[in-house]
Amino acid sequence: MTSVARFFDLQVNGYAGVDFQDDSIEVEDLHRACAVMRGHGVVAFLATVITQDIDVMSRRLRRIVELRQRDELAREMIVGIHIEGPFISPLDGYRGAHLKRCVRPADVGAMAQLLDAADGLTRIVTLAPEHDANLATTKYLADHGIRVSAGHTDASLDELSAAIDAGLSLFTHLGNGCPMHGMHRHDNIIERALSLSDKLHPMFIADGAHVAYPALRNYIRAAGVDRAIVVTDAVAPAGMGRGHFTMGNWEITIGDDLVARAPDGSHLIGSAIPMPIAVQRLIENVGLTLDEALRLTVENPRKLLGLSGPTISMHIDTTLVGGTARPPAKAGAM
C-alpha cells in the first residue's frame, strides 16, 4: 500500500520487538515501538495490558504511564490504554492464551485499582459479561466514561443484552477468544454478538488466520462497515517480518503470511500483521474498497474514542512491500 494512512489501532500488545507486558521495558523501547508504528502509518493506538495478577497488571500500567510521559512521540501516539482481562471466562477455548491462574470474576475494587494505575488513560476494558456479577463493573466503567468490550466470553444472548443496557458497547476480536471446535454451529458467541451488532461495535483481526477471509467478509457485512473496526492485536514481533522470536515464555514463528504461531504450527500466538498489510488484505481478500478499509482502520476507531487525531499525513513505510513486512533496520529479535 502506498496511500496516505492515519491508522488508529485500538489493541496493541507490543511492536518492533518491544513487549508492553515486559517489566523491564525502558523509554527507548517504547519510543522505538512508536517510531516503527509511525513508519507503518499508525498515528494513534491503545497500549494493551493483558491478564495477570492485579498487582502485576497495575505495575505494568504505571510503567507505561511513566514512560509515555517521558517521551514526546509516545505521548502523541499512545492516546490511551486497553485493559484486556483479567475478568474473562476461565474456560478453555474462551480464555485463549490468557493465564488461567490469573483469570478472575469482575470486581469493582480490583477494577478501580487498575484504573488508578492507568492514571486516567484507560479507554477500553475487555471483560466477560457472564463473570461480572450484577454487571457492577460494567456499570462502574460506563459511569466513568470508559468503553466496555465483551471478549473471551460465552455470554448468552440475554447476558449480552443486559450488559448492553448497562453500558457494553464493543466486542473484542470477534471470532477469536472462543473454541475452534465444540461450539454449537448456530447458537454460539459469534452469532449472538453479530445479532446485536446494531448495538455493538465488533472488532476484528484481519490477518486471515484469526478469522478466515470468507467468514470475515460475512461478519463485516453483517455488522456494517460503519460499525466494524479492525485492530492488529499486535504482539511484540509485529513489524519485524519473518523469523523466530522469544516472547516471555512463548516461542513464536512468523511465516510469510505474517501470522504468529507456535513453532509446530499448532496454534496462534497473537498477531504480527502491520496495519497497512491488514488494509491490503481487506481489499484483496475480503473485497472492500480502499475507502471501506480505511473506515474500519481510521474513521471508525477514531470516532469511537471521540478523537480528531494528529493532522499529519504520511505515506506507508517502503519497508512494507508486496504484502510482506520486512524487518526494520534497528529492530532485533526478542
Active-site residues, by number, are: 233
Rounded Cα gap, residues 170 and 82, in angstroms: 12
* Set of cell numbers at residue 123: 479507554
Burial status of residue 99 (CB atoms within 10 A of its CB: 0-12, 13-18, 19 or more): middle
**Contact present, 189 and 196 (Cβ < 8 Å):** no
Helix axes 157-166, 136-143, angle to 10 degrees: 30
CA-atom Rg of the chain in angstroms? 18
Rounded Cα gap, residues 168 and 69, in angstroms: 30
CA-based angle 144:148:153, to the nearest 5? 150
CB environment 61-98: b (16+ within 10 A), e (fewer)? bebbbebbeebebbebbbbbbbbbbbbbbbeeebbbeb
Complete DSSP assignment for 266-319: SSEEEE---HHHHHHHIIIII---HHHHHIIIIIHHHHHHT--------BPPTT
272 phi/psi in degrees, rounded to 5: -130, 20
**Contact present, 155 and 147 (Cβ < 8 Å):** no
47 phi/psi in degrees, rounded to 5: -65, 130
